[in-house]
């Protein structure tokens, strides 16, 4: 029976034949993409993407708010903090106004400046309690994380630099928009340091493993070409907008490329040296290496690339940027490992540079394999117990969403945060903003009552320390807006009128005194009237008697006149009677008789009038008592009115004092339970300026600035977003604004979107990667159970590895893991974790012809040291990320490093082979394998060499599993 081996693979033969051109081609490609393409870090800065998805609720809210208030169309906002050594004075205000003007003169980068400190109505709301600091919020062009946003931050810093502050005042640009460019620059600047440290670690470890400088240099050259070409190709793709980048993608790409390239080099060099030690010539050892390792490298690379590519299906841009670049980088690593490294092996083998310098010790790993197949159950239980160390820490896992503690403290944005923290609460630079949008103009007293009710409802949410809105622009109720105070102000006007009325009340007393005097006079006058009436009555009686006497005298005189009438006539006839005294005297007597007659007539008339007067006097006498009675009643009424008014005004004084005290108490206590703004306030010029900050120009949107009592970038801060929204919805029920649209933007709401998005994306990437890994493992192993075991151990390793990272960072170092560490480390570990299991299982499959247990022992002996070295190099390379200035990258690297060490030293070394030993032939289901060695089952067959050749032909093996002679064991 023929024992000839099949012809070497075409690809392996071609690579060996064209080794020099392949080496030169890769070197040329690396040099071309290094010098003809912009550096990867610069490309990343020039083609960056937003950190948050544009359909996230917080981003939509921020953009909608900018449009409603006609301020901006981006979600990028920053803060300029002014800090003085002393209380900010007029020079600081002058500088502030100058700075605001300069910012407004750059509309290309600064879309809006919220000038609150420049308005006396809202100034107190943005000034620190000690008066030494203030801030101004900016809406910058470009969404956070984009190139335009970074340019806007640079432009603002240039404006600040060109506008020097007065002595004793420092100016900082901080806030989310300013933090991201600083983070990117810090990550890119520390990439070289991290790469150098990783390179040193790789060189030292490889030198310790191979004890040959030439071998290490050859391997490092391959890794260098692979990293350089991967960087250059990704930079080229990014520069032509084929892929998008972030600082995390760049750092992870470089670390993964170095680690994976080193891993694959170790696989190839290790297998080559194993074959050489087994006595094969360089060419045969080369083909043995390529046949045995190339499928593993291809499967491993495709697994990692596919798992990383699953990140492209996520929604978070920060994860999307990792997917394609890292996948392409891994494909480059696979291409280098399958072409350049074999070419280097071929070239080096001509000079003996790749041969082992010492005998490869396999007995230790064979002993471990022997122990595993003898006691698989106890070893499996032990490995599970070790895994529990990490798993038990997972329930206590706490994360943080605040980027500041994970960045260098001397970054400009962090210095600004530190300055703000010295004067303001921690959340003032990271507020949340709630906006409601109604279908009508809300600038009226009734809607302002609802807005105030809404602000109070938000303020009552546990963990909220401050709510600023149009009804509370300084975070507290507007002074003098409570109904008691408004009433007290109305009473103040009444008090002024009362002070004017009080003298008139005293005049009533004087009037009563005058009435008393008048009554006394009336009484005296009544007494006189009584006397006058009596006298008048008596006089009338006498006048009547006189009239009768006069009548009698007149009759006698008439008789005398009649007797002497002739004589009388003589005196009237005499012309000269005036000249004759006796004549004139006698004539006068006769004329007296005529006068008495006239007097008698008049006397009659007078007596008639006297009689009438006597009657009127009597009537007048009856009227005067009534006048006295009326006067006395009037005086009594005046006195009564005085006493009543005096008591009333006394009570009003007390009431006014109580109302004033109540208004002052409500005002001093900032009690706004009875808030109300009169209509005339809306026409106030100062109030209109204040409304511009909180009410949209059309009056249909209102916003509230919310400050948390603690750090909003924590799970506790994120958990408040839902209660805030619920409180707002409840506050608007049964009001005219019941159907208003509510939206939330800002720090905690953005981090909530990050949290929700990362959970969603993690499940997408996890399920996708697991399915992909399972398919690849199934294709390579041709065993459903083996593929399930590999995937299952990888999942178990994920939990234990992340738990170990939680134990190290959270419980030992006291630093919470950043929220990005979990999804990114899980995806990387998921991809890389199957790598070593795949190599082990693939080697077990090669050795299965010797029997299941013997195959496990041989696979452990053949791959133990190689896989351990590769795993430790990979772990140390990823752990070197801890030297990055970004702590989040350091946490990511150490988490991956711990996971790889756990996977290498526990899962691959003990757990997977013990499961394979326990399952026996079922591990390879649905394949049919022989549970016993061929020599045991074919004792009646021809000699052993012939049997082996026959088995080789039947199994269609491409490799005879170059191993040292293995003694017979009872397994």
CA distances from 25 to 30, 219, 686 (A): 9, 17, 73
Indicate if 223 and 321 belong to the same structural domain.
Answer: yes
pLDDT digits (tens, 9 = 90+) for 56-89: 888 888 888 888 888 888 888 888 999 888 888 8
Burial 848-881 (b: 16+ CB within 10 A, else e): bbbbbbbbbbbbbbbbbbbbbbbbbbbbbbbbbb
Instruction: List the Cα angle 190/195/196 in 5-degree steps.
Output: 100
Domain assignment present for residue 430? The answer is: no
Q: Would you say residue 265 has pLDDT above 60? A: yes
- Each residue of 691-720: pLDDT tens digit? 888 888 888 899 998 988 888 888 888 889
pLDDT digit string (tens) for 925-956? 877 766 665 555 455 555 555 555 555 444 44
Do 566 and 634 lie in a common domain?
yes
What pLDDT, on a 0 to 100 scale, did the predictor assign at position 120? 76
Measure CA 97 to chain center.
28
On the question of pLDDT at 348 being above 70, the answer is yes
Write down the pLDDT at residue 102: 92
Return the minimum-mean-pLDDT range out of 25-34, 240-249, 295-304, 948-957.
948-957
Given pLDDT bands bounded at 50, 70 and 90, which one contains residue 499? low
**Cα distance between residue 709 and residue 695, in whole Å:** 25
pLDDT for residue 527: 82
pLDDT-based confidence at 52, cuts 50/70/90?
Answer: confident
Report the C-alpha dihedral over residues 440, 446, 452, 677, rounded to 10 degrees: 120
Q: Are residues 377 and 258 in the same domain?
A: yes
Same domain (yes/no): 131, 114: yes
What are the helix (H) ranges across 105-212?
A: 147-162, 176-189, 191-210
Q: Residue 652: its pLDDT value, please?
A: 60
Quickly state the pLDDT bin for 661 (edges 50, 70, 90): low
Contacts of 174 (CB under 8 A, 6+ apart): 78, 79, 80, 81, 412, 413, 414, 415, 416, 417, 419, 420, 429
Give the rounded distance of the alpha carbon of 21 from its chain centre.
56
How far is residue 176's CA from residue 433's CA, in Å, rounded to a whole number? 14
Considering the domain architecture, whether residues 306 and 372 belong to the same structural domain is answered as yes
For residues 375 and 311, membership in a common domain is answered with yes
pLDDT in tens, 818-866: 888 888 888 788 777 777 777 777 777 777 777 777 778 887 877 777 7
pLDDT class for 28, splitting at 50, 70, 90? Answer: very high
Residue 260 burial by Cβ neighbours in a 10 Å radius (0-12, 13-18, 19+): buried
Q: What phi and psi, each to the nearest 5 degrees, are found at residue 474?
A: -100, 10
* 239 and 220 share one domain: yes
Q: Which two tokens stand for residue 177?
A: 């928009």
Which of 219-233, 270-284, 841-855 is predicted with the least confidence, judged by mean pLDDT?
841-855
Q: Per-residue pLDDT for 877 more than 80? A: yes
Q: Which residues of 581-602 are buried (b: 16+ CB within 10 A; e: fewer)?
A: eeeeebbeebeeeeebeeeeee
pLDDT at position 426 over 80: no
**Which tens digit of pLDDT belongs to each residue from 156-168?**
999 998 988 898 8
Q: What is the mean pLDDT of residues 120-136?
A: 84
Summary mean pLDDT of the chain: 80
What pLDDT score was predicted for residue 494? 58
Q: How far apart are CA 286 and CA 571, in angstroms?
A: 197
Which of 534, 109, 817 minimizes the C-alpha distance to 542? Answer: 534
Element (H, E) at 511: helix 483-563
- Count how many domains the chain has: 4
User: 731 near 454, Cβ under 8 Å?
Assistant: yes
642, 668, 694 — which closes off a domain?
Answer: 668
**Is residue 50 in a domain?**
no
In a domain, 735, yes or no: yes
Residue 576: count other Cβ atoms within 10 Å of its Cβ: 8
0.85 cut: is pTM over it?
Answer: no
Give DSSP secondary structure letters for 815-857: -PEETTHHHHHHHHHHHHHHHHHHHHHHHHHHHGGG-HHHHHH
Match 């290094």 to its residue by tokens. 34
What's residue 435's pLDDT? 92
Binning the chain into helix, strand and coil, the percentages to the nearest 5 are: 70, 5, 20
Q: What is the pLDDT of residue 960?
A: 39
Alpha-carbon span 749 to 59, nearest angstrom: 9
Task: Answer whether residue 416 is part of any domain.
Answer: no
For residue 875, give every residue at least 6 positions away whose Cβ sits within 8 Å of its Cβ, in sequence order, or none. 896, 897, 898, 900, 901, 904
- Under 8 Å between Cβ of 481 and 672: yes
Closest-CA residue to 659 (of 421, 491, 901): 491
**Angle made by CA atoms 965, 846, 380, in degrees to the nearest 5:** 90
Domain of 104, CATH number, reads 3.30.70.1440
- In the prediction, which pLDDT does 570 show? 65
Residues 6+ apart with CB under 8 A from 885: 186, 187, 189, 190, 407, 408
- Same domain for 902 and 757, yes or no, is yes
Could you tell me if 383 and 914 are in contact, meaning their C-beta atoms sit under 8 angstroms apart?
Answer: yes
Peptide bond between residue 926 and the one before it cis (omega within 30 degrees of 0): yes
Q: Which is nearest to 114 in space by CA: 136, 83, 144, 146?
A: 136
Query: Residue 358 burial by CB count (10 A; 0-12/13-18/19+): exposed, middle or buried?
Result: exposed
Looking at the structure, tell me whether residues 193 and 311 fall in a common domain: yes
- Determine the Cα–Cα distance for residues 902 and 87; give it in Å rounded to an integer: 57
CB 587 within 8 A of CB 572: yes
Q: Would residue 721 count as lying in a domain?
A: yes
Same domain (yes/no): 321, 196: yes
What SS3 state is found at 422? coil
Q: Which of 668, 698, 722 is the last residue of a domain?
A: 668
pLDDT tens-digit readout, 583-628: 777 777 777 766 766 776 777 777 777 777 777 777 777 777 888 8
Q: Check pLDDT > 80 for residue 781.
A: no
User: For residue 464, what are the β-bridge partners?
Assistant: 708
Cβ neighbours of residue 454 closer than 8 Å, sequence gap 6 or more: 436, 469, 704, 728, 731, 732, 737
Q: Does the pLDDT value for residue 355 go beyond 80?
A: no
Choose the weakest-confidence range: 169-183, 350-364, 448-462.
350-364
Q: How far is CA 201 from the centre of its chain?
A: 41
Q: Are residues 877 and 830 in the same domain?
A: yes
Please report the pLDDT score of residue 965 as a whole number.
Answer: 36
pLDDT of 968 higher than 50:
no
Residue 742 has pLDDT above 50, yes or no: yes
- pLDDT higher at 658 or 379: 379
Q: How many whole angstroms separate alpha carbon 481 and alpha carbon 667?
A: 8
Return the pLDDT at 959: 41
CB 783 within 8 A of CB 917: no
CATH number for position 34: 1.20.1640.10
For residue 59, being part of any structural domain is answered with no
Domain that holds residue 459: 439-476+678-739
pLDDT at residue 673 in the model? 58
Q: Which pLDDT score is estimated for 501? A: 65
Mention every residue, 6+ apart, whose C-beta is less than 8 A from residue 608. none
| 419 occurs within a structural domain | no
Q: What angle do CA 752, 758, 763 make, to 5 degrees?
A: 135
256 in the same domain as 389: yes
Checking if the pLDDT of 98 tops 80, the result is yes
Higher pLDDT residue, 551 or 419? 419
10 is a domain residue: no
By percentage, how much of the chain surpasses pLDDT 90?
A: 5
* Residue 463 per-residue DSSP state: T
Edge-to-edge, what's the strand order for the sheet holding 701-708?
464-468, 701-708, 432-437, 741-746
Tokens for 205, please give them.
């470890």
Paired tokens of 793: 């151990």
């Amino acid at each position: 029976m023929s024992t000839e081996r099949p012809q070497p693979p075409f690809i392996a033969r071609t690579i060996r034949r064209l080794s020099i051109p392949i080496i030169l081609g890769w070197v040329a490609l690396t040099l071309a993409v290094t010098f003809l393409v912009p550096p990867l870090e610069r490309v990343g800065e020039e083609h960056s993407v937003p950190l948050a998805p544009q359909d996230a609720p917080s981003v939509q809210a921020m953009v909608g708010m900018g449009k409603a208030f006609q301020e901006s169309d981006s979600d990028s906002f920053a803060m300029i903090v002014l800090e003085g050594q002393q209380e900010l004075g007029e020079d600081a205000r002058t500088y502030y106004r100058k700075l605001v003007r300069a910012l407004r003169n750059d509309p290309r980068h600064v879309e809006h400046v919220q000038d609150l400190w420049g308005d006396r109505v809202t100034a107190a709301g943005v000034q620190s309690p000690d008066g030494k600091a203030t801030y101004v919020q900016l809406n910058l062009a470009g969404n956070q994380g984009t190139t335009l946003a970074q340019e806007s931050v640079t432009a603002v810093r240039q404006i600040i630099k060109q506008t020097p502050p007065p002595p004793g005042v420092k100016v900082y640009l901080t806030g989310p928009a300013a933090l991201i460019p600083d983070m990117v620059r810090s990550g890119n600047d520390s990439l070289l340091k991290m790469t150098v440290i990783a390179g040193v670690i790789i060189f030292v470890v490889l030198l310790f493993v191979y004890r040959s400088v030439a071998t290490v240099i050859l391997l490092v050259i391959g890794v260098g070409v692979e990293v350089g070409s991967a960087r250059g190709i990704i930079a080229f793709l990014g520069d032509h907008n084929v892929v998008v980048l972030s600082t995390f993608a760049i750092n992870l790409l470089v670390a993964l490329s170095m680690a994976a390239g080193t891993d694959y080099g170790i696989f190839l060099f290790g297998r080559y040296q194993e074959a050489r030690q087994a006595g094969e010539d360089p060419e045969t050892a080369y083909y043995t290496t390529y046949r045995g390792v190339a499928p593993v490298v291809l499967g491993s690379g495709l697994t990692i690339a596919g798992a990383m590519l699953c990140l492209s299906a996520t929604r978070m841009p920060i994860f999307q940027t990792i997917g394609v670049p890292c996948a392409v980088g891994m494909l480059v690593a696979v291409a280098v490992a399958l072409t350049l490294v074999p070419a280097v092996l071929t070239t080096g083998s001509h000079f003996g540079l790749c041969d082992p310098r010492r005998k490869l010790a396999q007995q230790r790993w064979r002993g471990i394999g022997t122990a595993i197949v003898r006691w698989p159950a106890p070893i499996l239980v032990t490995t599970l117990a070790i895994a529990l160390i990490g798993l038990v820490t997972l329930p206590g896992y706490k994360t943080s969403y605040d980027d500041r503690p994970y960045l260098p403290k001397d970054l400009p944005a962090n210095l600004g945060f530190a300055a703000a923290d010295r004067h303001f609460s921690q959340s003032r630079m990271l507020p949340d903003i709630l906006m409601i949008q109604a279908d009508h103009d809300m600038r009226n007293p009734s809607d302002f009552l609802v807005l105030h009710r809404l602000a109070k409802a938000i303020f009552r949410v546990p963990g909220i320390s401050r709510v600023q809105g149009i009804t509370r622009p300084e975070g507290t109720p507007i002074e003098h807006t409570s109904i008691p105070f408004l009433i007290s102000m109305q009473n103040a006007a009444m008090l002024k009128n009362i002070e004017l009325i009080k003298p008139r009340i005293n005049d009533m007393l004087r009037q009563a005194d005058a009435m008393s005097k008048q009554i006394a006079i009336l009484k005296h006058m009544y007494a006189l009237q009584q006397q006058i009436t009596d006298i008048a009555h008596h006089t009338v009686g006498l006048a009547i008697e006189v009239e009768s006497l006069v009548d009698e005298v007149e009759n006698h005189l008439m008789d005398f006149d009649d007797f002497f009438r002739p004589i009388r006539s003589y005196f009237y006839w005499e012309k000269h009677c005036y000249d004759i005294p006796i004549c004139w005297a006698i004539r006068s007597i006769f004329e007296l008789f005529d006068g008495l007659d006239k007097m008698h007539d008049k006397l009659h008339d007078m007596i008639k009038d006297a009689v009438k007067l006597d009657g009127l006097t009597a009537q007048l006498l009856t009227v005067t008592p009534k006048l006295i009675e009326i006067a006395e009643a009037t005086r009594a009424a005046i006195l009564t009115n005085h006493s009543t008014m005096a008591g009333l005004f006394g009570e009003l004084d007390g009431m006014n004092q109580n109302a004033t005290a109540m208004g002052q108490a409500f005002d001093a206590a900032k009690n706004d339970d009875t808030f109300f703004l009169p209509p005339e306030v809306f026409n106030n010029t100062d109030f209109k300026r204040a409304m511009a900050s909180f009410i949209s120009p059309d009056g249909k949107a209102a916003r509230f600035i919310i400050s948390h009592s603690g750090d909003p970038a924590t799970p506790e801060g994120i958990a408040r977003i839902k209660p805030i929204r619920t409180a707002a919805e409840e506050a608007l029920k049964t009001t005219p604004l019941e159907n208003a649209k509510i939206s939330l933007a800002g720090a905690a709401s953005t981090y909530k979107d990050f949290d929700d998005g990362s959970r969603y994306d993690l499940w997408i990437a996890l399920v996708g990667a697991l399915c992909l890994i399972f398919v690849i493992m199934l294709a390579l192993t041709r065993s459903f159970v083996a593929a399930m075991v590999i995937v299952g151990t990888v999942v178990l390793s994920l939990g234990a590895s992340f738990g170990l990272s939680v134990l190290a960072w959270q419980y030992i170092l006291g630093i919470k893991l950043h929220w990005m560490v979990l999804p990114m480390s899980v995806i990387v570990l998921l991809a890389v974790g199957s790598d070593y299991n795949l190599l082990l299982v693939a080697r077990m499959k090669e050795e299965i012809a010797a029997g299941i247990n013997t195959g496990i022992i041989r696979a452990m002996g053949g791959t133990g040291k190689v896989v351990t070295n590769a795993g430790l190099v990979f772990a140390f390379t990823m752990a070197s990320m801890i030297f990055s200035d970004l702590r989040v990258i350091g946490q990511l690297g150490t988490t991956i490093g711990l996971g790889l060490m756990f996977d290498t030293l526990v899962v691959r070394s003990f757990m997977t082979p013990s499961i394979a030993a326990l399952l026996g032939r079922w591990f390879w289901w649905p394949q049919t394998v022989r549970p016993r060695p061929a020599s045991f089952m074919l004792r009646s067959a021809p000699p052993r060499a012939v049997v082996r050749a026959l088995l080789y032909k039947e199994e269609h093996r491409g490799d005879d599993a170059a191993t040292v002679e293995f003694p017979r064991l009872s397994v």
